[in-house]
Amino acid sequence: MSLEITLAYTILLVFFTLVLAIRVLDLRNSPVTKFLHSPNRQIDPEMLQRAIRAHGNLIEYAPLFLILLLLCEFSNLNSLYLHVAGIFFFLGRLMHGIGFGFMLHSPILRIGGMSLTFLGFLILLILASYQLVIAS
């Protein structure tokens, strides 16, 4: 059995996780990212905390979503619905990560991002619950 849908969204989410991790490293003045900016740059502590939480928030939500997506795909649920859930989740995490990790104030991106994240979860929960009832 091929698990291409889960693999595709795992790749996207891991890539974005790395982007957010590099953002945190940059704000911490890590030697890894020193070449990106001047040595006298001042770091906003609030922006650093926001970047850390944007990264942490993705780390907290993505594994549960990917496990649920994997189980739904393994159960041969409709791939169109799985892609819709995956797109909503990824766009939600992207919006939230950019709105929270790269900007000091962007409630539209944060709220929209969380809404799409929860919508992606909800689609998978409905599909999985329906499958469980039908399989029983």
CA angle 128, 16, 77 (to 5 degrees): 20
Q: What does the pLDDT read at residue 2?
A: 82
pLDDT at 35 over 80: no
Task: Band the pLDDT of 51: cuts 50, 70, 90.
Answer: very high
Q: What does the pLDDT read at residue 26?
A: 85
The mean per-residue pLDDT over the stretch 85-94 comes to: 99
CA-based diameter of the chain, in Å? Answer: 64
- What's the CATH number where 86 sits? 1.20.120.550
Count of the separate structural domains present in the chain:
1
Give the domain range for residue 41. Answer: 4-135
pLDDT at 128 over 80: yes
Look at 36-50, 54-68, 79-93, 115-129 and tell me which has the smallest mean pLDDT.
36-50
pLDDT at 40 over 70: no
Rounded to whole angstroms, the Cα distance separating 126 from 122 reads 6
